[in-house]
Amino acid sequence: MAGLNQLLGSCPHPTCMAKSRRTTSAGWFTNLANGSAAAVGSPVAFLLALATIVAWVITGPFFHYSNTWQLVVNSWTNVMTFLVVFLIQNSQNRDSRAVNLKLDELIRSTEQAHDEMIDIERLSDQELEKLAKRYERIRQEWEERRTGRDHQRK
């Protein structure tokens, strides 16, 4: 436990870490990604995007559906899509890491759980496939035992 205390500071409990997280500033990109992800995923952002497309369609006849008119919306949507992909990926990476850490904590704190399951997200695809097959066999064995018990009751 001393190693964990050194790694996490004087209070290794997640609630202490959450409290300290509120008082310290995260990296600029994390702050930008969090704020942008919240904004981009909001109903207001959707309505703004929809209004922009509607305005673009309505202005088509005024600009005689010119190449410039098309280029404006194509360029705008390409740039926005390009940037939002990175923001979404950053948000998903953090969410995935947080979920994995929570699962690791549950595995660690549950006596009957297999500790080797901690950090399995770092395994290769072949190792994950082997592990998935192992658990599929366990599920099939359980199903056979359950089905056998159901037949014995009848």
Q: For 49-83, how does the pLDDT look when each residue is reduced to its tens digit (9 = 90+)? A: 899 999 999 999 999 989 998 998 899 899 989 98
Contacts of residue 141, defined as CB under 8 A and 6 or more positions apart, other chains included, come to none
Nearest to 117 by CA among 94, 135, 90: 135
Other C-beta atoms lying within 10 Å of the C-beta of residue 139: 10
Helical ranges in the chain per DSSP H: 2-8, 14-23, 28-40, 43-59, 67-109, 125-153
- pLDDT score for 30: 81
- pLDDT score for 73: 87
Of 3-7, 28-32, 54-58, 122-126, give the lowest mean pLDDT range.
3-7
Range with the largest mean pLDDT of 17-26, 70-79, 108-117: 70-79
CA 19 to chain centre: 22
